[in-house]
Structure 1
Amino acid sequence: MTKPAAELDRLIATARDWSDAPLALATVTATWGSAPRPRGSHMLVHQDGRFEGSVSGGCVEGEVLHAAAETIRDGRHRRLEFGVADESAWEVGLPCGGHIEILVQPVTDGGFSPALFGRIGDARTRGEALSLATDLAAGQTIEASEPGENWFVNRYAPPRRLLIVGAVQIAQALAGFARGLDVAPTLIDPRGRFLTNERFPGVELDDRWPDEAVAERRPDAATAVVTLSHDPKIDDPALIAALRAPTCYIAALGSRRSHAKRVERLTAAGISAEQIARIDAPAGLSINAQGPAEIALSIAAGMIAAFRR
């Protein structure tokens, strides 16, 4: 299960900060129905009761914290189950309904080794996925992707990225949405007057030509590329670079008429019809958006839909 980037990065950083203390790690290993958190979600628990992350959005955290305290005391893993019909959920503390199973492990070499946090972090820095497998009976986690029966595999995807081409007003709103969604935005535009820290505070800026900037960043299955400049000299090279990579989501702003002209230009540049069909144009979900913020919202929604697929 892909976990939001900032959430996972915070948990890794917290594990590093708490490395001198006894810890336990709770992980959602199975879900059914309207479970509040996806499989693979983590909660790291300190001996003093502090915690980072969530396994249920708050509805069963108290029970998990109690189990984590016991695991820290005796070094034994625990498997917890919470399930309820929606209509009676409030009575037992799972207001969203559904069913979840949670594994609580000691953060030790015989459980979830402290070194594994570093391995996850290193893989994310390299932009690579990493799979860890947990023997649910023994409560031990190892680096593997194809274990035997009664094992749980957790896949840690690379951080999600958004390359925005064209530092226009829509890009300001889109960059904000992306950060709120734990997607790291980068603004690419060779026009210095548009690409300024004042207009995009806290956002990584790249003033190279888009074909070079996009190609060098090697977009992958965790990357979205969105062109917004309305200038073919800027947008088209970025789209070609994105289409030549396994980019998860590629979108281009503009009307259907302007996209038809775009298709002609890309075809003349040697891009196949099959590749061109990967472009979401007009960009984003159809919500009758008006104004920069609503257009940005529709694009962000289209991006998330692609990531989930």
Structure 2
Amino acid sequence: MKEIKRILEVYNHLDLSQRKVALATVVYVQGSAYRRPGARMLVTDDGRWEGAISGGCLEGDALRKARQVMLDGQPMVVRYDTMDDDANSLGIGLGCNGIIDVFIEPIDPGEFRNPIRLLEEFVRLRDQRVIATVFRANAETGLCTGMRVVLTETATEEPPGWLRSDMVLCMATGKARTVRYEVTGQPVDVFIERIDPGIELIIFGAGYDTIPLTRLATEIGWSVTVTEDCIAHLAPKRFPQATCLLYADATTITEKLTLTDRTAAVLMSHNYNYDLAVLTRLIPTRVPYIGVLGPRKRYQKMQAEWERSAKGFAQSALNRVHSPIGLDVGAETPDEIALAILGEIKAFFSDRSGGFLRKKPGSIHARQAALHEQD
């Protein structure tokens, strides 16, 4: 989300009457690569770029290819084979051991459905959407290279029949796919990806230790709301990066917030009664992740109070509460604690364990062994 926003920011500051622009997108990866399918890089004809398609190894060559695309006005697919360092045509040892296809296309500012406009719509609406990009097609298919089909939860356009099932699957699983179809007897390569609006972090409490958590969360592109029942703690100068500062008491707070399946709530006010009141109101909501700062005994005390007052919650609801919060990284300082909290939240929403990658068997990413052909 942050990279997309930065690309849009740079694009919207360009004088498009004077500058030409191209967009490079990773559409296929076999084996290992620093960036996964969906990574983007905006390139201008004066040699500037924003975003990245690798760890810095491919950008120079992609820039040269993008200049040709902008000059000709025709898109191209560039394949980078980093399997063999000795035979690498780029003259550098990448060591990634992968094959990467990059789709580079010119951007026409006057085209209503150009990819930049679709990304702007996504950022504005903050919806979850699947975008299918045709990156290789013969003229006989009647499809244009660079054509895109969009599927959202409130879709008003219906994908073509040969594409719909894979787009629906991508929406459900979130896994990007590169698929080869046959249309009018001709091969068509399509990259299908789901883009998400990112995690929406709500921090209950505006103490000293919430400042680094707010800063780090916004640095990685999350939306951050800080809320408190003491307006003096919510001074904007303390949280310049926050998306929203909200003054509200614990009894009405859930009525003033928009809670989604991408919301992570973190309680760290250090006020037991406030945290108890907020948590009592959060558990019945749809928030998938609720973290409570403090020792395990503090949360156990809350559970005991619910039992005494006959406000006990089902175990399935309590399973959404993480207390103590954070990964076990030996955090001590507020900045380290913020890192541990963000690590756990990211692992939760990515459905990962948060362990050491060197102990994980196999690939650290789901691999696509070869270009998948539709049955």
- Normalising by structure 1, report the TM-score: 0.86
Against the structure 1 CA distance between its residues 200 and 23, is the aligned structure 2 distance closer, same or farther, given a 3 Å change threshold? Answer: closer
- 2:260 is paired with a residue whose SS is coil
**Alignment partners' CA distance in 1, 2:64 and 2:121:** 31
- 1:92 is paired with a residue whose SS is coil
Larger Rg computed on CA atoms:
2
Against the structure 1 CA distance between its residues 61 and 133, is the aligned structure 2 distance closer, same or farther, given a 3 Å change threshold? Answer: same
CA shift, 1:35, in A, is 1.1
CA shift, 1:181, in A, is 1.6
**Alignment partners' CA distance in 1, 2:33 and 2:254:** 38
CA shift, 1:188, in A, is 0.7
Against the structure 1 CA distance between its residues 98 and 217, is the aligned structure 2 distance closer, same or farther, given a 3 Å change threshold? Answer: farther
Match of residue 197 from structure 2: 158
Native 8 Å contact 2:82 2:96 kept in 1:
no
**Alignment partners' CA distance in 2, 1:282 and 1:8:** 33
Match of residue 301 from structure 2: 261
**Alignment partners' CA distance in 2, 1:92 and 1:210:** 58
Unaligned runs of 5+ in 1: none
- 1:176 is paired with a residue whose SS is helix
Match of residue 304 from structure 1: 346
Deviations along 1:70-99, one digit per CA (max 9) or x if unpaired, are 111222221122232487589535344433
RMSD: 2.8
Deviations along 1:197-253, one digit per CA (max 9) or x if unpaired, are 343334332111256444433222332210011334422343355444443432111
Indicate whether 1:144 and 2:150 are aligned: yes
Q: Which deviates more from structure 2 when the two are superposed, residues 228-237 or residues 51-60?
A: 228-237
Deviations along 1:250-289, one digit per CA (max 9) or x if unpaired, are 2111211112122344564353210110111100111232
CA shift, 1:292, in A, is 2.1
Determine which structure has the larger helix proportion and give its number: 1
Indicate whether 1:27 and 2:33 are aligned: no
**Alignment partners' CA distance in 1, 2:125 and 2:276:** 28
Unaligned runs of 5+ in 2: 138-144, 152-158, 165-180, 182-188, 352-375
Say which of 193, 218, 221 aligns to 2:261: 221
**Alignment partners' CA distance in 2, 1:109 and 1:11:** 15
Match of residue 293 from structure 1: 335
Number of aligned residues: 304
Indicate whether 1:92 and 2:88 are aligned: no
**Alignment partners' CA distance in 2, 1:218 and 1:286:** 30
**Alignment partners' CA distance in 1, 2:255 and 2:56:** 42
Native 8 Å contact 2:85 2:92 kept in 1:
no
- 1:144 is paired with a residue whose SS is strand
**Superposition pairs of residues 185-196 of structure 1, within 5 angstroms:** 185-196=224-235
Q: Which deviates more from structure 2 when the two are superposed, residues 104-113 or residues 214-223?
A: 104-113
Native 8 Å contact 2:133 2:191 kept in 1:
yes
Against the structure 1 CA distance between its residues 141 and 271, is the aligned structure 2 distance closer, same or farther, given a 3 Å change threshold? Answer: farther
Say which of 193, 202, 218 aligns to 1:179: 218
Letter in 2 for 1:123: F
Native 8 Å contact 2:85 2:93 kept in 1:
no
**Alignment partners' CA distance in 2, 1:225 and 1:162:** 6
**Superposition pairs of residues 107-126 of structure 1, within 5 angstroms:** 107-108=107-108, 113-114=113-114, 116-126=115-125
Indicate whether 1:197 and 2:210 are aligned: no
- Normalising by structure 2, report the TM-score: 0.72
**Alignment partners' CA distance in 1, 2:44 and 2:130:** 25
Match of residue 276 from structure 1: 318
Native 8 Å contact 1:250 1:278 kept in 2:
yes
CA shift, 1:64, in A, is 0.8
Q: Which deviates more from structure 2 when the two are superposed, residues 190-199 or residues 68-77?
A: 190-199
**Alignment partners' CA distance in 2, 1:108 and 1:241:** 49
**Superposition pairs of residues 52-131 of structure 1, within 5 angstroms:** 52-85=50-83, 91-108=91-108, 113-114=113-114, 116-131=115-130
CA shift, 1:103, in A, is 0.8
**Alignment partners' CA distance in 2, 1:51 and 1:78:** 18
CA shift, 1:102, in A, is 0.9
- 1:201 is paired with a residue whose SS is coil
